[in-house]
Structure 1
């Protein structure tokens, strides 16, 4: 079979190599999956760079999220077990962690549903306890993680303010359903959020960016608001002024979705049921901006690493 291998750490397009390799052999409790579509995530770039919290032994195949097919023909969602990731014709996953792929979504859309939408659902519902009528501010609203939060926020009955970088991404955020879109290159985000909320600020802020985005969040979060920390796509991890959180009465909430798989797997199953129901009703639908063949996976990961994409890129072997 064909699979992309990372033999040394560095930029994805420089270190990912497409090679012929035997099909992986599943271990105890694991299954072999034919990859129908693999979604490109920012962690794939971090894995290539050696900057992710998990550092698999070299060589490995990146690709942390797939829609796959079992040997008995079931269509499933899975997070492949490294080193046998999803940018290959076949991957390996834990049998107990497989989830059924929603019938309402095609392979590429289903591949993009798992991590981003589970993260968004846990962030908004479990951590922030978002309520209908509240104002949600989403940074990087046109990206893969942000676009999921926008749709989930609208489905929850929130007013959604999206922040995006540039006119093209702002257009995508608007099409996703944001009630107000701000261009971080041209707009005063803090002033615009306060104006839109009558001076109150945003009740919930969803931040996969860090850096300057977090600094803006702290300046426009509402009384008893909640800032959900999802990641640091900017490359800068902020150091929150806890005295500011104290005197302004807001909460800073961390979210590491992967922990729920080991700490509370039943919650992951419940979330999957909620997402499947929302997909069936058409309330959520992953934005797949590009579908590329397996041969183009390295360039796709690099594009995500460079922050030039909107929505999700799906790698579709055999396309």
Structure 2
């Protein structure tokens, strides 16, 4: 078969021949219809993702849409190197196959499911959001952050505050469900004041930024809460601004904050499968919006080097 193949970390994959996958016991051979080029895919192909074991060559691609031998259209995710979804065929554990409903096209699913899944897990399986609660999305201008805004609204959040740096993407967020927007593009004192005013009493924070902006946000919100004992669930999903934070012990003593992460390993495989099916079942009614650019798989090198606007996801089609 033909596939995108990484032969050296730090270089784009090349479109070339690769051995056909041979399904092991419990696996299904899936013909790939569409695969998204997500940040998770790029880090895996670069060998920098925390799950990377350094194996080369590898086919990148973490998830995708495909057809099973009996003609069922499915979404699949959780693939492990070296056999990814940017190929004509891939062997997928049968337990990882998620039936797709009618009414959603392959490219939209391939582009949306990865960022939407990060938001869905954070909101429903990690934060356990309830209707009527309030949510702050830190890093709301990226694909996943935009999905978090939309899914929080779909799940009945009372108020949604969206915070980010990109002014054009931030301006779109009220149309996706945000009640308030906060620009993070300012000095620390200004950002802290904005967040204290807009999001002091939120119930849930979905955090895609981490690093220094999270330190600023945490200090501002913890100091401004009307009721320090009211529980705040802070869910760390991404680290766009840095991998670490400094967390003063006093913050945990003076405020009821529940920190948790959301990602591979934070939920069981069974719960991950359940979450994928929950999200797939909601696709026809959730009205999720994502901009996609479709490119043929043979142009993977060009796709890799093309910088897309914020909020746009590249989808490769064999």
Tell me the TM-score normalised to structure 1 length: 0.86
Residue matched to 1:74: 72
Change (3 A) 1:62 1:235: farther
Is 1:312 paired with 2:313? yes
Is 1:110 paired with 2:109? yes
Query: In the alignment, is the contact (CA less than 8 A) between 1:102 and 1:110 conserved in 2?
Result: no
Residue matched to 2:191: 189
Residue matched to 1:34: 31
CA-based RMSD: 2.5
Tell me the TM-score normalised to structure 2 length: 0.86
1:124-163 matched pairs, under 5 angstroms: 124-158=123-157, 159-163=159-163
1:204-215 matched pairs, under 5 angstroms: 204-215=204-215
Is 1:297 paired with 2:300? yes
**How many residues are matched?**
306
Residue matched to 1:268: 272
Is 1:64 paired with 2:62? yes
Residue matched to 1:288: 291
CA offsets 1:182-213 (integer angstroms, 9 cap, x no match)? 2322584332233235xx33321111221133
CA distance in 1, matches of 2:31, 2:51: 24
Residue matched to 1:5: 5
Change (3 A) 1:160 1:89: same
CA distance in 1, matches of 2:171, 2:295: 23
Question: Given the alignment, which residue of 17, 21, 24 partners 1:24?
Answer: 21
CA distance in 2, matches of 1:301, 1:163: 28
Change (3 A) 1:52 1:132: same
Query: In the alignment, is the contact (CA less than 8 A) between 1:119 and 1:257 conserved in 2?
Result: no
Change (3 A) 1:106 1:16: same
Query: In the alignment, is the contact (CA less than 8 A) between 1:211 and 1:235 conserved in 2?
Result: yes
CA offsets 1:236-274 (integer angstroms, 9 cap, x no match)? 322333431221221111122455343xx0x33443443
Change (3 A) 1:272 1:20: closer
Gaps of 5+ in 2: none
Does 153-162 or 218-227 show the bigger shift?
218-227
Query: In the alignment, is the contact (CA less than 8 A) between 1:135 and 1:202 conserved in 2?
Result: yes
CA offsets 1:100-149 (integer angstroms, 9 cap, x no match)? 12323110122244443333222112322223332211122132221221
Change (3 A) 1:151 1:258: farther
Residue matched to 2:173: 173
Query: In the alignment, is the contact (CA less than 8 A) between 2:12 and 2:304 conserved in 1?
Result: no
CA distance in 2, matches of 1:106, 1:19: 27
Secondary structure at the counterpart of residue 291 of structure 1: strand
Residue matched to 2:122: 123
CA offsets 1:70-109 (integer angstroms, 9 cap, x no match)? 1221110112343121112222211121111232311012
Query: In the alignment, is the contact (CA less than 8 A) between 1:67 and 1:110 conserved in 2?
Result: yes
Does 293-302 or 29-38 show the bigger shift?
293-302
CA distance in 1, matches of 2:195, 2:306: 30
Secondary structure at the counterpart of residue 27 of structure 1: coil
